[in-house]
Amino acid sequence: MSFLEGLIGNFLFGWLNSYLYRKYLRKRNKDWIVFLAMIFITGLLLLDILIYLEIVDMTWVNALPWVNIPSIQSGKYFMWNSFLLFGLDLGITAQPGMDVFAVFLFISYIFWYYFGSKFGKFLHGYRPYQQGFYLIFRPVKKFIKDREKRMKEEDKAKSNK
């Protein structure tokens, strides 16, 4: 993945991880959200660093007819030219000072994941009793049925005590 694709991927996985937490993991084990975040961020960061340092050779992408990656600094060329696989070649070549910016972009992967996670929590709710703003898109009948089901369960629990 290139830098921009990596940032977008981290944001989307942060959102997806907060959804999985709300839907499946909150009731069972709350530590899974941290575990999944560490695995995804570490994996993507490690892959992109290996591509940037040219340990993972990206010249195999030249098999696609619309891609033309030079053999010298192929990893840096691939990382700086986002959406190269989709046919958008900006022709950015790596300059000596761009390595500093690359380090900051790699560090920002964590923050983009965090922003995606916060956006997901905004949509899905922060606490178990919150529903979040995704209720705008949820059918009203389903919400009413879920509320009635919860009320019956609460009444049953009160009557058993």
Ranges of H-type helices in 21-139: 32-52, 74-80, 98-124
- In this prediction the pTM is 0.72
For residue 28, the model assigns a pLDDT of: 66
End-to-end C-alpha distance for the chain, whole angstroms: 56
Decide: 121 and 18 in contact? Cβ < 8 Å.
yes
Estimate to the nearest angstrom the gap between the alpha carbon of 125 and the chain centroid: 18
Task: Report the chain (161 residues): mean pLDDT per 10 consecutive residues.
Answer: 86 88 70 84 92 86 81 82 77 82 92 90 70 61 74 84 66
CA–CA–CA angle 22, 17, 112 (5° rounding): 130
